[in-house]
Amino acid sequence: MEPKNIPSPQLRLRDIPADQAEMVVIEEFALTFDGYAFWDEQGESCSDEAKSDCQCLDHLRTRLFFAQRAGRHSAGLERERAVPILRALRTELSAPTATICRHEAKPPHPLPE
């Protein structure tokens, strides 16, 4: 079954797995954002954007997505790599305004449910 796509403006805290969730759950969450398609539409490279230090939702989700995809060629997505990104996603979603990213000026997002 293909994971459900969740656009970043629709992402809620309840969508983000707990740090101690099974890795399959974290990997499924990583695939709710298609970094390849997203950055292709922006005219950018997913692999380049995954290296960005931007803390906006799109870049955080890109890093998690890219780590999951890279993990297919090794032992899989590592918890030590995923958890800091999950925590950063929670922090960003909890902030009263969104981090402004160079690829798009984003309006403030509502407080998470």
Q: Is residue 25 included in any domain, yes or no? A: yes
Q: What is the pLDDT of residues 84-100, one digit of tens each?
A: 999 999 999 999 887 77
Domain count, the chain: 1
pTM of structure: 0.84
Mean pLDDT for the chain?
A: 87
Q: Is residue 89 included in any domain, yes or no? A: yes
Tell me which residue range forms the domain holding 83.
21-113
Structure-token match 């380049």, residue found: 48
pLDDT value, residue 104: 61
Q: Is residue 14 included in any domain, yes or no? A: no
Answer yes or no: are the C-beta atoms of 50 and 34 closer than 8 Å: no
Q: What is the pLDDT of residues 52-63, one digit of tens each?
A: 999 999 999 999
Question: Looking at 77-81, 97-101, 104-108, which range is the least confident one?
Answer: 104-108
